[in-house]
């Protein structure tokens, strides 16, 4: 397993660049705005499990995804949309070829598409010399999705609002066992469910979300996601029975348990049912693409 921890990447044409996953160490839905967006409080943790993107310049002014994904039209790919949005915002006329090595599961709650978009904005802002500041890129990224700003922000963070109000957090070194139920969770379906509670009491200190007790590690999306996709509940039940803990990231489907070290994570994985997909990941102290 190759870790991306402490390897800071400077964008260059033709160089593979990381788009790391995130975990939500807790996620509260505390309300809903008039425009339908949900108000959240969550703790984002980057991990050393990532997609990889390569950017090459083009002379014809086109934005081309060289590695289209099955069942997703290229024009809807978030990396392509990010490149187009940056070009529209800045008025540049450059073209780019994008190659995406997809490792993060679609519908996995790990922020894969959002992370791809963020890496694209960060990289092309540098390579095209468009000159936008990091806060400007965060505001631009919010047009693509609520999780995009934190990846541009570049640090583990306590997030509020719809996910764009970010406070940097220093987290201790941790390892995680990730389990991947065989389903792609539909984020829109989870958030639009009439069964989703949207009245969790707001906390004033992010550490409250990690204190032992009723709310430790809670994800308000879990009851809806497990009702829509019972297999997620099966994987969570296994974790909680064998590790005494287990949480769902984002709107699912990935579930995880925090472990004190890699050996403990591997020992837990050793007892998994045959055929279950899993991975060991280490928490990152920051996003690898800090420019």
Name the residues annotated as catalytic: 22, 147
Report yes or no: 256 and 181 within 8 Å, Cβ to Cβ: no
- Could you tell me the CA-to-CA distances from 49 to 2, 4, 18, 204 in Å, in that order? 9, 8, 9, 30
Report yes or no: 142 and 118 within 8 Å, Cβ to Cβ: no
Q: CA-CA distance, 64 to 95, in Å (whole number)?
A: 8
Q: CA-CA distance, 256 to 25, in Å (whole number)?
A: 10
Per-position DSSP letters for 166-185, written without gaps between them: EEE------EEEEE--S---
Q: CA-CA distance, 169 to 166, in Å (whole number)?
A: 9
């Amino acid at each position: 397993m190759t870790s991306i921890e402490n390897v800071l990447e400077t964008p260059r044409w033709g160089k593979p660049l990381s788009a790391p996953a995130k975990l939500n160490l807790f996620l509260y839905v505390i309300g809903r705005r008039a425009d339908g967006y949900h108000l959240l409080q969550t703790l984002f943790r980057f991990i050393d499990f990532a997609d990889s993107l390569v950017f090459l310049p083009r002379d014809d002014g086109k934005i081309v995804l060289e590695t289209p994904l099955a069942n997703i039209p290229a024009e809807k790919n978030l990396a392509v949309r990010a490149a187009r949005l940056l070009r529209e915002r800045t008025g540049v006329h450059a073209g780019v070829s994008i190659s995406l090595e997809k490792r993060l599961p679609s519908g996995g709650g790990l922020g894969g598409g959002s992370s791809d978009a963020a890496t694209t904005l960060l990289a092309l802002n540098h390579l095209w010399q468009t000159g936008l500041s990091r806060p400007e890129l965060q505001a631009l990224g919010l047009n693509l999705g609520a999780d995009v700003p934190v990846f541009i922000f570049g640090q583990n963070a306590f997030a509020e609002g719809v996910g764009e109000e970010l406070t940097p957090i220093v987290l201790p070194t941790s390892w995680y066992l990730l389990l991947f139920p065989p389903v792609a969770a539909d984020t829109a379906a989870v958030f639009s469910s009439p069964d989703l509670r949207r009245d969790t009491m707001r906390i004033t200190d992010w550490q409250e979300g990690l204190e032992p007790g009723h709310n430790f590690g809670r994800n308000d999306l879990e009851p809806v996601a497990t009702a829509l996709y019972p297999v997620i509940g099966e994987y969570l039940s296994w974790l909680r029975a064998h590790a005494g803990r287990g949480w769902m990231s984002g709107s699912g489907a990935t579930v995880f348990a925090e472990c004190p070290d890699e050996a403990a994570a591997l020992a837990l994985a050793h007892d998994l049912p045959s055929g279950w997909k899993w991975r060991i990941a280490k928490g990152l102290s920051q996003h690898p693409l800090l420019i």
